[in-house]
């Protein structure tokens, strides 16, 4: 039987205490990885504990450290600890991020900079610190979580959409400089079932009607799951994807294929 086998590999995943990062960590551990995760949650927080439990439930070793990825010294300290614990890094999923939806009219310089720091610069900083370890791995993979907003967006999603677009450039730029020893790929998820999107639906008077309206915009007939994004991360980290680098993969349930003119 064909399966994705990442046994004995060590994966670093940022933003594991919630949403997509939690799903990615779970799937990577199912594929055989030990997983080191970080997020803004304290070590004893529900999300951090759930991450450790989900990795260990798959028989793999977990390590968690509170880390603000916008602080370069905290990234360095996290990766130093990861190497102390596991001795190697093979896969990095640079996922931590947040919606910064301000609109171009209202966005302040401070908000612009916060967004650039979190949704663009932090990915480069993480990659930079991990690169020597990914090179040592010989099959190192650096995966960056972009968004469907990198390609088409909605008024009001500025400046988030600007940084997600820039991440596709980061992926190309790093891939051509870090290859062949390190592959660099982007993943651009569309609408994924996450706590943040649940809150979004809950903000409507008829949340179920809004959910059904949103689902109808997707030819796949559903929203995405965090595990499906985890599946892509696992596949792109595997030997099956050895020819994939310098590209960002749009996984949006077909939403961008459908002209929204009704
Ligand atoms: P979430 O809000 O559920 O989880 C975000 C995670 O990142 C949390 O663990 C949080 O602690 C961590 N985080 C946030 N700021 C951080 C910082 N400064 N340092 C360290 N960790 C930090 O978010 P979600 O929805 O799972 O999003 C994850 C990534 O996926 C983001 O980059 C987001 O832009 C992207 N994405 C999400 C989509 C969705 O539909 N949920 C669609 C497209 C992209």
Rounded CA-CA distance 150/166 in Å is 8
Positions of E strands within 1-147: 10-14, 34-39, 62-66, 91-94, 140-145
pLDDT at 262 over 70: no
| 67 Cα: distance to centroid of ligand 1 (angstroms) | 13
Would the CB of 64 count as within 6 Å of ligand 1? no
| Backbone torsion region of residue 15, taken as left when φ is above 0, otherwise alpha when ψ lies between -120 and 50, otherwise beta | left
**pTM > 0.85:** yes
Structure tokens at 191: 């609408």
Positions of E strands within the chain: 10-14, 34-39, 62-66, 91-94, 140-145, 182-189, 248-251
Can you tell me the mean pLDDT for 135-148?
Answer: 98
pLDDT at 3 over 80: yes
pLDDT at 188 over 80: yes
| DSSP tag of 119 | I
200-242, pLDDT tens digit by residue?
999 999 999 999 999 999 999 999 999 999 999 999 999 999 9
Give the per-residue pLDDT at 4: 98
DSSP symbols for 134-180:
HHHHSSEEEEEE--GGGTS--TT-TBHHHHHHHHHHHHHHHHHHHTT
| 94 Cα: distance to centroid of ligand 1 (angstroms) | 10
| DSSP tag of 120 | I
Would the CB of 150 count as within 6 Å of ligand 1? no
Domain ranges of the chain: 10-194+226-252
pLDDT at 9 over 90: yes
| 181 Cα: distance to centroid of ligand 1 (angstroms) | 28
Q: Best substitution site from 17, 21, 67 to test ligand 1's pocket, by max atoms within 8 Å of Cβ?
A: 21
Position 187 confidence tier, pLDDT thresholds 50, 70, 90: very high
Give the per-residue pLDDT at 151: 98
123-138, pLDDT tens digit by residue?
999 999 999 999 999 9
Give the per-residue pLDDT at 209: 97
Q: Best substitution site from 12, 16, 20 to test ligand 1's pocket, by max atoms within 8 Å of Cβ?
A: 20
- Asked if 99 and 119 touch (Cβ cutoff 8 Å), the reply is no
109-119, pLDDT tens digit by residue?
999 999 999 99
| 35 Cα: distance to centroid of ligand 1 (angstroms) | 17
Position 146 confidence tier, pLDDT thresholds 50, 70, 90: very high
Would the CB of 197 count as within 6 Å of ligand 1? yes
Give the per-residue pLDDT at 260: 76
Can you tell me the mean pLDDT for 43-71?
Answer: 98
Question: For the chain, what percent of residues have pLDDT higher than 70?
Answer: 99
Classify the C-alpha dihedral 1-60-227-145 as positive or negative.
negative
Alpha carbon nearest to ligand 1 atom 3, residue: 19
Q: Best substitution site from 15, 129, 164 to test ligand 1's pocket, by max atoms within 8 Å of Cβ?
A: 15
Look over the chain and give the mean of its residue pLDDT values, rounded to a whole number: 97
Place of tokens 């993943």: 187
CATH topology of domain 10-194+226-252: Rossmann fold (3.40.50)
């Amino acid at each position: 039987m064909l399966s994705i086998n990442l046994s004995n590999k060590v994966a670093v995943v940022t933003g594991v205490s919630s949403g997509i990062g939690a799903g990615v960590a779970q799937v990577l551990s199912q594929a055989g990885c030990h997983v080191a995760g970080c997020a803004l949650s304290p070590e004893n927080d529900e999300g951090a504990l759930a991450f450790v439990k989900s990795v260990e439930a798959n028989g793999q070793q977990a390590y968690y450290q509170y880390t603000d990825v916008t602080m370069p010294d905290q990234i360095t300290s996290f990766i130093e600890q990861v190497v102390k614990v596991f001795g190697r890094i093979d896969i990095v999923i640079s996922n931590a991020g947040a919606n910064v939806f301000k609109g171009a009219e209202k966005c302040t310089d401070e908000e612009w900079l916060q967004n650039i720091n979190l949704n663009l610069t932090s990915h480069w900083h993480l990659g930079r610190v991990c690169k020597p370890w990914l090179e040592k791995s010989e099959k190192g993979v650096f995966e960056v979580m972009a968004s469907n907003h990198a390609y088409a967006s909605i008024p009001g999603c500025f400046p988030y959409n600007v940084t997600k677009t820039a991440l596709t450039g980061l992926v190309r730029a790093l891939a051509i400089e870090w290859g062949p020893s390190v592959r660099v790929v982007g993943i651009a998820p569309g609408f994924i079932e996450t706590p943040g999107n649940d809150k979004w639906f809950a903000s409507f008077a008829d949340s179920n009607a809004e959910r059904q309206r949103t689902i109808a915009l997707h030819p796949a007939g559903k929203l995405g799951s965090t595990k499906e994004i985890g599946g892509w991360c696992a596949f792109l980290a595997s030997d099956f994807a050895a020819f994939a680098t310098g590209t960002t993969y749009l996984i949006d349930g077909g939403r961008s294929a459908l002209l929204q003119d009704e």
